[in-house]
Amino acid sequence: MTLALLFPGQGSQSVGMGVALADAFASAREVYAEIDDALGQKLALLMREGPEDQLTLTENAQPALMAVSLAAVRVLKVEFDIDVSRAALVAGHSLGEYSALCAAGALSLADTARLLKLRGQAMQRAVPVGAGAMASLIGPKTDLALAEAAAKAGSEVGVCVVANDNNAGNIVISGDKAAVDRAIEKAKELGARAIPLNVSAPFHCPLMQRAADEMAEALSGATLLGPRVPVVANVTARPETDPETIRRLLVEQVTGRVRWRESMEWMAGEGGITRFAEIGSGKVLTGMAKRIAPDAESVALNTPEDLEAFAKSFN
């Protein structure tokens, strides 16, 4: 089977995530300790005990989700001798792209943690709380054309764009609150359900330009190597290996669309992937994979038992 590793994005966090890995494996605890040292905070304790409102803060959720993913990657390598290089491709949803790059050796663990902490803070600073909004358009009639039409209606009163093209039936719009409200009305007229999202900022839209500028400065000083496994970028939905191209695309990703459906379709088609494994917290990407690429195998690797079973499948 040709394998791709997937790394989850914001929304997959929950109090207690990654605790079973830490309790079972010293290698996972070492990852959490390295990240705590890099950030100068007790992130592992926050993941274990909460409170949930602090873990959900963007500046904490982003490095925390990365921490669980990289702990699982470390466990696979140290305990089961399964290296990331066994995969043909890696990809991550939004912040998960940083996890993918770290797993593939393009970024160090400490740098990844610091970049994600800054990314979360910068995204929060970019727009005053309450000024922006996001909404999920869902249902069998929801496709990219419908979402684009809804966003166009919203853009008559402010910034409104498609932020996440997750899969058919699940597309997220983002922008000024008034514009998103107008887009929600239009989406309902067109036959979609629209659910406002409980987010602290309008991610992946032009309102995030200030955050993109901050990330451009931070990334310019970060050491970024060629990944050992090609990384399918959110912005291009294609595999990338050139460090400078990756650096530029990470900046563009802050304001740009997460082209996840296209990424998955490419991997399952031209990429030849027949097995997707989501590494980290939750099963969001696994669900999407089953809808986008139903002929491929899709598994979520959350627990020690998941990792052990996955490792045995290679024998």
Q: Which of 204, 263, 281, 298 is catalytic?
A: 204
Rg (CA), the chain: 19
| Pairing assessment for the beta strands 160-167 and 275-279 based on DSSP bridges | unpaired
Annotated catalytic residue: which of 12, 69, 94, 298? 94
Angle at CA of residue 309, ends 307 and 311, nearest 5°:
70
Residue whose C-alpha is closest to residue 192's, from 176, 172, 164? 172
161 φ, ψ (degrees, to nearest 5): -140, 165
Tell me which residue of 58, 257, 249, 260 sits closest to 160, measured CA to CA.
Answer: 257
Q: Does 93 participate in catalysis according to the annotation?
A: no
Q: Can you state the angle between helices 96-103 and 243-255, rounded to 10 degrees?
A: 160
The residues annotated as belonging to the active site are 94, 204
